[in-house]
């Protein structure tokens, strides 16, 4: 079955009602989780961490949608939602906008895409191999943390990918975000903040790790080097992208963030409408099947090699 043409999905446009629904769900889950976490009861605190973990994943996905201007109809609402979602997801909104836009432009060229360039094959120091292998084997959420720091906070690294005007916007976003965290810590108290939210944050990272790494990792990609190359078109990017099939309810809650091939092919379609396209891409795989197979590989192999080298082909 051939994928629908872009003109065939023009009716799938952002809707404010859907945007407010998912924004409200994230707010509600955050409020419930925070209330339980601060209640003083150990049992309520534990349940609160589960609510917070789900909410933090939702905020990350809302940041993704708002950055594409596909959560709400208007740019102003998307921008406001993006700043809020980015603050909670620990990613400054201007950093996300600039780097994620570059990701979509250069998907398939591993060394030109800032989010994948650090995974270009290279000799690893012994400590790097041990750390990566241990984190991947145990499920410790190292990769979501590194993903944030290196791609959205590391100004020296970002300067290599952005123009001066873009870098200025990124610096502004980082300063505003840091100021917000300082104010929040002063108002609540640093220890109280850690006690209430740290475990939920780590659980969210643990959920995001396989979601993020499933999308482009261990798939053969091109290297541009010093050559001038053209970006791959949106339909061409399917070959460099993988999708997971999550349980339907969870997929819906995270705006079908698992349907990553469809997102790259139809980038202007809101996440909450992706499954309405009615096309199943070739690299889509059941999430549990993929996770078991991927976890059987050492992390250093999974991250820095591809299926052409290992035979791991899902």
**3 in a domain, yes or no?**
no
**1 in a domain, yes or no?**
no
**308 in a domain, yes or no?**
no
**312 in a domain, yes or no?**
no
**Residues spanned by the domain of 120:** 11-302
Task: Supply the pLDDT for residue 1.
Answer: 77
Task: Supply the pLDDT for residue 314.
Answer: 67
**pLDDT averaged over every residue in the chain:** 96
pTM of the entire predicted model: 0.96
**2 in a domain, yes or no?**
no
**269 in a domain, yes or no?**
yes
pLDDT in tens, 89-134: 999 999 999 999 999 999 999 999 999 999 999 999 999 999 999 9
**Mean pLDDT throughout 143-170?**
96
Secondary structure class of 232 (helix, strand, coil): coil
In the 8-state DSSP scheme, what is residue 140? Answer: -
Lookup: tokens for 6 = 């872009």
Domain count, the chain: 1
**Mean pLDDT throughout 21-48?**
97
Banded pLDDT at 311 (limits 50, 70, 90): confident
Name residues whose C-beta falls within 8 Å of residue 135's C-beta, 6 or more positions apart in sequence: 141, 142, 143, 299
Task: Supply the pLDDT for residue 95.
Answer: 98
**95 in a domain, yes or no?**
yes
Does position 192 have pLDDT exceeding 80, yes or no?
Answer: yes
**Mean pLDDT throughout 178-198?**
96
**224 in a domain, yes or no?**
yes
**Mean pLDDT throughout 223-231?**
97
**Mean pLDDT throughout 292-304?**
96
Indicate the burial class of 21 (C-beta count within 10 angstroms; 0-12, 13-18, 19 or more): exposed
Task: Supply the pLDDT for residue 313.
Answer: 75
């Amino acid at each position: 079955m051939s994928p629908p043409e872009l003109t065939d999905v023009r009716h799938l446009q952002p809707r404010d009602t859907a945007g407010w629904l998912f924004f409200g769900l994230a707010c509600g889950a955050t409020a419930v989780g925070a209330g339980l976490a601060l209640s003083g009861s150990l049992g309520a605190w534990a349940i609160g961490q589960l609510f917070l973990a789900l909410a933090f994943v939702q905020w990350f996905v809302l940041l993704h949608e708002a950055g594409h201007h596909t959560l709400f109809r208007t740019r102003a609402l998307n921008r406001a939602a993006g700043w809020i979602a980015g603050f909670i997801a620990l990613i400054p909104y201007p950093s996300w906008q600039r780097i994620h836009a570059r990701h979509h432009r250069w998907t398939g060229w591993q060394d030109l895409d800032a989010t994948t360039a650090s995974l270009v094959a290279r000799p690893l120091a012994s400590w790097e191999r041990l750390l990566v292998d241990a984190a991947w084997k145990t499920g410790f959420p190292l990769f979501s943390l590194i993903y944030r720091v290196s791609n959205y906070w590391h100004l020296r690294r970002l300067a290599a990918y952005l123009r001066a005007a873009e870098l200025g916007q990124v610096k502004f976003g980082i300063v505003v975000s840091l100021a917000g965290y300082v104010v929040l810590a002063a108002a609540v108290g640093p220890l109280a903040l850690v006690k209430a939210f740290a475990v939920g944050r780590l659980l969210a990272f643990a959920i995001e790790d396989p979601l993020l790494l499933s999308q482009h990792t261990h798939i053969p990609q091109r290297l541009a080097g010093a050559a001038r190359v053209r970006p791959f078109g949106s339909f061409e990017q399917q070959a460099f992208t993988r999708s997971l099939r999550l349980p339907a309810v969870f997929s819906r809650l995270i705006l079908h963030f698992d349907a990553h091939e469809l997102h790259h092919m139809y980038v202007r379609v809101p996440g909450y409408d992706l499954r309405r396209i009615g096309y199943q891409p070739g690299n889509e795989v059941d999430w549990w099947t993929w996770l078991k197979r991927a976890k059987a590989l050492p992390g250093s192999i999974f991250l820095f090699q591809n299926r052409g080298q290992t035979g791991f082909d899902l």
